[in-house]
Structure 1
Amino acid sequence: MSFDLPIAPPAQVGGLAAGRATSGGGDELPVFYPATGARISTLIEDDAAAVDQAVTAARAAFDRGTWPGLGVLQRVEVLERCRQIILDNAEELARLECAATGLVLRELRERHFKRAAYNFRFFAEYISQSAGQRYDQTPGYMTTVSRVSVGVAALIAPWNAPVALATMKIAAALSFGNTAVLKPSEQTPLALARLVALLQEVLPEGVLNLVNGRGAVTGAALVDHPGIDLVSFTGGTQTGRTIMSAAGRNLVPCTLELGGKSANIIFASADQERALDGALLGIFSNNGQQCLAGSRILVERSIFDDFVGRFVERAGRIRVGDPLAETTEIGPLASAAHRDRVLSFVDIAQADGGALLMGGTRRDDLGEGYFVSPTAVTVPSNSARVAQDEIFGPFATFLPFDSADEAAAIANDTQFGLVSYIWSDHLPTVMDMSERMRSGVVWVNTPMMRELRAPFGGFKSSGVGREGGASCEAFYTEERTLTIPTRPPPLRKLGVE
């Protein structure tokens, strides 16, 4: 079986610095269509010299360009034009995104690209309402605090939702007057390469630049570059540790949104139908490839068998297939290597005493693409590897609990702490559990809901720092304190007899 390619992608993809192609200089890396496994494009990797070209362009735009000193209303106008570019080109961009990621085209249209466009509107509105501070506590003096742009931002985006997540970083960095160098994942460069080219048409020269390549090559050269002033990364925890170590050597601040192994806690007091819908969305949406997935589903023992049975029955009817089809609910995973890694956890679960409830196999009936069946297992305890390791696929792990105390203990028994889900219509249970969760975000009786004004990020190995309105303002700006006497102050005289 073969599926049509959603678009004819460019034969080659490289970097863009100040509107011109970077020098490349590195290896040629294949780009595959996950629905068929066919090679569809070639990425020309940017080496250290090409990265230097992009950073130099961003540095010049910040140090000598107009963007950092532009008035807020002028910057808002440009951000709104960026938003409109995404809306005007959403179909082309969504098809390029589908071609490299295998994400369902309908979901890209309805969710990802609306969110990408809104990222620019959100920050345009945010900066138009920002205020400074004034202090008058000391008689005779006025002290003001303003926020100023930091400099050149290195923005490193993941492969699981490239445009939606990268535009959050781009819009935030640019809205506060910084310039930027973006590095997408080498697996999924197509849509972001096109988007950066489009945005460069309305942005001043050098404000937004693109480099492409692997983390160990292009990413390392970018983070280590002395012209970088701050780093924002979304991706795996181990890579985040490497980036934070490299940034620390140059005293460069960074925000890291990393992995998760989030607990989705379902009490007997929950609306069972809504909890079932939420549990299915929490683990299987975005092809199961999301750091905020509710991958550990904790169910109160009195309803455990019934809930798991209904989950398995519903999950068995999820439509896996062509990401271009309107009826498809799960497309292929992003790569053959990732597919094989996800499926390897079936044997790992069984070796730890777990039981396979459903799935756990390749969908060979769908051809050579990277398709897997929705998978669910039960495990005897939270110490099982499938309850501790981030699998990052359509793979649910079920555990029972007998009390709120036990549920909280299981939920927090992880190196991660990105999000938590609580399902209960009993208010005291909700309030008690929400206070106990060691996670940066707690969602109650709802699957994923992102409020961009609120901070988003995790505890423990799930990250450092936060994204969101005020959190981004704090990261992408420096505070400057200015003190002025309101009248000539008396000064001590030195050296006067």
Structure 2
Amino acid sequence: MVELVEYRNLIGGELRQAASGQFLDAVNPATGEVFARVPAGEGADVDAAVAAARTAFPAWSALTADQRAAYLRKVAALFTEYGDELGRLETVDNGRIVRENVPRNGPGMTAMWTLAASQTLEAATGQTVVLGPNRLGLTRREPYGVIAAIIPWNAPISMLSAKAAFALAAGNTVVVKPAEQASVSVLRLGELLADVLPPGVLNIVSGLGRDAGEHLVRHPGISKITMTGSSETGRAIQRAAADTLTPSIFELGGKSPNIIFADADLEAAANGATVTSVFTGNAGQVCVAGSRILVQRPILAEMLGRIRAIAEKVVLGDPLDPATTMGPIISRAQYDRVVGYLETGAKEAELVFGGRHGAEVVPSLPGGYWVEPTLFLSEDNSPRICQEEIFGPVAVVIPFDTDDEALAIANDSRYGLAAGVWTRDLARVHRFLRDLDSGNVWVNIYRQTGQELPFGGIKDSGYGHDRVLEFTREKSAVIAT
């Protein structure tokens, strides 16, 4: 029997077991097998991490912008050196294909931490205003204190970086709670960070959400919360944080529309609505998945054919194999949830293709959590598969006739994270940019973000952005001269 690697939390610059000595199993979703063990952190571990972060805060926040930037550039260099290892480890942990994970966790994270380093001065810069002949007004930007960062399982390292890099740039210290379904790559990163950042500046505590996570968001030592995950979890955190009035940033779920007009580049639109949206290397387990594909009726038959042709070329299999283009569902629980929607969809709408799941999809890996690309067709937006976030490789096509109808269908959702518009009509583009209920809109492209741009949603998709200025608060002063 192969001995499992046991990982440790990072608390106060030290690698520690959970205070209880207990572990959680890390399961490879492509095989269903346990491949490592991670700490089952609880309240005592969170208390220690928050205490370490609070102890480190005065010295870290007192550094000059250039001094903090130097540390962040050292972190960026880690991803240049270890990006391949971290990407492959994350692939084993969450099933996202290696040819996506390695670039994200190598050059992608190097760029993100370098960008954060370049913004340390912005986070420390206030304003000066002349209020009169003998009065001067000024503002100071100051860090909050200790930031709690709750990160999801579909992109652990990039989500940690999006939160921690900018929070640290602003002078805060951080306690990270990774998702229990995929903590291994984050804990390995913690081993590397222990040798780069001052003790306590960034801490990592793995454990169940109901234990470590809930204790963290209720902790009176936390000054702000940033969380990416489901809308249900976001609401639970907001209720938990109400007693301490802790401000929060939430990037939550979505049911994003991809709106394809008859005048669009149909080849580009078909690819944008599938392989870059919902039939992805992460099996559609992305918050911005354009899982509602709105198609103008004159091109409906052609688009269905184009989408089917693309889906037939998707290769499911070992996510470490460069030939694989789509990986497994993250866990048994999520697999069961997606399969439940397949069954619901078959009753609510017309199955265009797909629907198979389990061992028959990838016979060589029968223990994995496999769901093949699946497409439904619905004449309206009312079915559950049109209204609820599935978080799997499942999409539904909804026909429309007019611009007004497309806009009404697109906005008929409790979510408002992202939307895609495919058209050559510039006037239409401007109207939809204005009228779509969405925090992010892509035109003739999909799921292409820029680290320099804010990213967040509205309605049940959350509020706020993981940007450097959101990790500062302004203090005003008036000085009589």
Distance in 1 (CA, whole Å) between partners of 2:436 and 2:107 is 31
| Aligned twin of 2:191 | 197
* SS of 1:342 mapped into structure 2: helix
| Counterpart-to-counterpart distance in 2, 1:353 and 1:311 | 17
Partner of 1:322: 318
Partner of 2:5: 11
Match of 1:209 in 2: 203
CA shift digits 1:84-128 (9 cap, x unpaired): 011111121112111111111111112343222222111111224
In structure 2, C-alpha distance between the alignment counterparts of 1:151 and 1:9, rounded to whole Å: 40
- Give 1 or 2 for the bigger CA radius of gyration: 1
Contact preservation (8 Å) 2:11, 2:204: yes
Q: Could you list the per-position Cα deviations for residues 233-256 of structure 1 after superposition, in whole angstroms to 9, with x for gaps in the alignment?
A: 000111100101111210110001
- Checking the alignment, whether the CA contact within 8 Å between 1:100 and 1:188 is kept in structure 2 is yes
* Equivalent pairs, count: 473
* CA shift in 2, pair 1:222/1:9, >3 Å: farther
Residue 413 (str. 1) matches residue 412 (str. 2): yes
Q: Deviations over 1:257-284 (max 9, x none)?
A: 0000000000001111111111111112
- Deviation per CA, 1:32-83: give whole Å up to 9, x if none: 11111111112221111111011111111114xx210101111111100000
Query: Which amino acid letter does the alignment assign opposite residue 191 of structure 1?
Result: S
What CA deviation, in whole Å up to 9, does each residue of 1:142-195 have, x standing for no partner? 111120111001001000011011111010111111111101001111110011
1:151 aligned partner: 145
Q: Equivalent residues in 2 for 1:382-393 (5 A)? A: 382-393=381-392
**Structure 1: segments with no counterpart, 5+ residues:** 1-7, 487-497
% same residue = 39
The amino acid that maps onto 1:329 is: T
CA contact (8 A) 2:95 2:328 kept: yes
Runs of 4+ in 1 over 6 A off after TM superposition: none
Aligned residue for 2:279, secondary structure, equals helix
State the SS of the aligned residue for 2:293.
strand
Any idea what SS the aligned residue of 1:282 has?
A: coil
Aligned to 2:138, what secondary structure does the other structure show? strand
How far did residue 213 of structure 1 move?
0.8
Q: CA deviation at 1:26?
A: 6.8
**Number of the residue aligned with 1:366:** 364
Shift of residue 9 of structure 1? 9.4
Q: Is the 8 A contact 2:86 2:102 kept in 1?
A: no
User: Given that residues 13 and 189 in structure 1 are in contact (C-alpha distance below 8 angstroms), is that contact kept between their aligned partners in structure 2?
Assistant: no
Cα displacement (A) at 1:311: 0.5
In the alignment, residue 454 of structure 2 is paired with which amino acid?
P
1:173 to 1:22, Cα distance in 2 relative to 1, 3 A: farther
Where does residue 424 of structure 2 map in the other structure? 425
CA distance in 2, matches of 1:84, 1:348: 47
Structure-2 separation of matches of 1:79 and 1:299? 45
TM-score of the two chains, using structure 2 as the length reference: 0.95
1:331 maps to amino acid: G
Structure-2 residue corresponding to 1:110: 103
Q: 1:348 aligned to 341, 344, 368, which one?
A: 344
What's the C-alpha RMSD, in Å, of the aligned pairs? 1.6
1:395 partner amino acid: V
Q: CA deviation at 1:298?
A: 0.3
Counterpart selection for 2:89 from 90, 93, 96: 96
Structure 2 gap ranges (5+): none
Distance across 1 between alignment mates of 2:215 and 2:297: 51
Amino acid at match of 1:309: G
- Check if 1:267 corresponds to 2:266: no
Are 1:35 and 1:322, in contact at CA under 8 Å, matched by a contact in 2?
Answer: yes
- Say which SS state the counterpart of residue 255 (structure 2) adopts: coil
**Partners of 1:28 and 1:42 within 8 A in 2:** yes
Deviation of the 1:27 alpha carbon: 4.7
Correspondence 1:2-151 to 2 at 5 A = 11-20=5-14, 21-25=16-20, 27-63=22-58, 66-129=59-122, 131-151=125-145
